[in-house]
Amino acid sequence: MIDLEAELAELRRRGLHRSTRLVSGPQGPQVLVDGRPVLLLCSNNYLGFAEHPRVREAAADAALRWGVGAGASRLVSGTMTIHDRLERRLAEFIGSEACVLFGAGYLANVGVVSALAPGGSTVFSDALNHASIIDGCRLAGAQTFIYEHCDLDHLAWGLRRAKGGLVVTDAVFSMDGDVAPLAAIVELAGRHGARVVVDEAHAIGALGPGGRGAVAEAGLEGSVDAVIGTLGKALGSYGAFVCASSVLVEYLVNRARTLIFSTAPSPPAIAGALAALELLSEQPRRVEKLQANAAAMRAELLGAGVPVGGGRTQILPLIVGAADTAVALSGAALERGAFVQAIRPPSVAEDRSRLRLTVMASHTASDLRRGADAIAAAAHQIGVSFRGDAPSAPTTAMIGHAA
Ligand SMILES: Cc1ncc(COP(=O)(O)O)c(C=O)c1O
């Protein structure tokens, strides 16, 4: 039997113990942490939709019209009209034949990867893919080939040795903020008869024309087999979707265990996401503002002497190395009014702990400057040096798949 106290003590000893902070108020640019107002620099509410009045109203109205819960899996108690409406709208937005909703991005990835990678096949997974893809690989009957982060030669080497299979990648890597080389991945997979699934969790609302994601940005609409997106980040709600051909969606309805054996997402969450999607098409400038804020924050940090990696997206990794250093830096930044979470193993490789800073379209220029100054002062206070621009962590990052 596992000794819980001993396990927790060991996590503490290694600087890997986790607990959550109590935050008051919605996920806006500022929140109250322990009753004190601080800048929020670690939320994925990228476009400010989670607290937008129209999104709130849509969710409240849906609760009154359809109730709070969906009652059961849709295969048991049916598809509610609000789910059907969002699926049609998302298929239009992504430019796919069909769409199906899942309870969360985690469930979508686990369900899709395990359903599309049966025994006897191979799933090719980037070393820095999200934990939910890793767990999908574990649940799948297939062999997993982990290719080094964004390493096309390594992927090609693996594809040559297998007959077909499934390539799965984050579009924007969740802890590093860099963008997968999607065009080359699609070309390689096509040459070797493999399917491609792209997880657009951090790209929807952040990249591409009208925020349609990295696949659209690369001009690859219709060239990947499935686009997975979450409703819980830029769309400000909760739940997820898979956009694909009608036959692939029909297959998932029959084979994706996390869809079949789980209650459908709640009507208020779905209606909220639908309202957010409408706002996104009415106000595409929010995406430009997010991108401008990401660039401005990079400039502020560099100006304050904090090297930042990760390329061009709204996710800025400030890599410090040791887990306890990341925790100390996060604490010192919070004391100075900036809430930026420390990310440690197993979310990242052993020697690559970091602050994962995210900007939102709703941050002002002065928010960004104050945030950068707070982090720089905190780093100076505790004598931290940063690792600079090194988004990839090859071989050791495979630990993520094994952890
Ligand atoms: C790349 C990626 N995929 C999937 C997920 C899971 O999405 P959700 O939070 O909707 O479960 C996350 C979020 O943490 C993520 O970063």
Residue nearest to atom 7 of ligand 1 (CA): 105
Host domain of residue 336: 22-51+284-402
105 lines ligand 1 (CB under 6 A): yes
Phi, psi of 343 (to 5 degrees): -115, 125
The total number of structural domains in the chain stands at: 2
The answer to whether position 13 is within a domain reads no
Q: Domain end: 257, 282, 307, which one?
A: 282
The alpha carbon of 109 and the centre of ligand 1 are apart by a number of angstroms equal to 8
Please indicate, yes or no, whether residues 304 and 366 belong to a single structural domain of this protein.
Answer: yes
Cβ–ligand 1 distance for 174 under 6 Å, the answer: yes
Residue 299 has what pLDDT? 97
Q: Give the CB-side neighbour count of residue 215, counting CA atoms within 13 A.
A: 27
Q: 174 with 242, same domain?
A: yes
In a domain, 368, yes or no: yes
139 and 218 share one domain: yes
Q: How far is the CA of 106 from the centre of ligand 1 (A)?
A: 6
- For ligand 1, what atom is nearest to the CA of residue 231? 10
**One domain, residues 137 and 247:** yes
Evaluated on CA atoms 117, 120, 125, 130, the torsion sign reads positive
Lookup: tokens for 225: 């087999």
- Distance from C-alpha of 384 to C-alpha of 150, rounded to nearest angstrom: 29
Residue 158 φ/ψ, nearest 5 degrees: -65, -40
| Domain match, 248 and 349 both | no
Taking the C-alpha atoms of residue 282 and residue 205, their distance in angstroms, rounded to an integer, is 13
End position of a domain, from candidates 247, 265, 282: 282
Last residue of a domain, one of 282, 307, 338: 282
Residues 268 and 301 in one domain: no
CATH value at residue 371: 3.90.1150.10
Same domain, 241 and 358: no
One domain for residues 109 and 134? yes
Ligand 1 pocket residue status of 201, Cβ below 6 Å: yes
H or E element that contains 339: strand 338-339
Q: Are 291 and 255 part of one and the same domain?
A: no
CA dist., res. 386 & res. 372, Å (int): 14
Q: How far is CA 42 from the centre of its chain?
A: 12
Q: Is 195 in the pocket of ligand 1 (CB under 6 A)?
A: no
Residues 276 and 343 in one domain: no
Cis peptide before 346 (omega within 30 of 0): yes
pLDDT tens, per residue, the chain with 403 residues: 999 999 999 999 998 999 999 999 999 999 999 899 999 999 999 999 999 999 999 999 999 999 999 999 999 999 999 999 999 999 999 999 999 999 999 999 999 999 999 999 999 999 999 999 999 999 999 999 999 999 999 999 999 999 889 999 999 999 999 999 999 999 999 999 999 999 999 999 999 999 999 999 999 999 999 999 999 999 999 999 999 999 999 999 999 999 999 999 999 999 999 999 999 999 999 999 999 999 999 999 999 999 997 689 999 999 999 999 999 999 999 999 999 999 999 999 989 999 999 999 999 999 999 999 999 999 999 999 898 755 544 433 343 465 4
| Position 346 in a domain | yes
| Token code pair at residue 251 | 């297959």
Residue 372 lies in a domain: yes
Question: The domain that contains 105 carries what CATH number?
Answer: 3.40.640.10
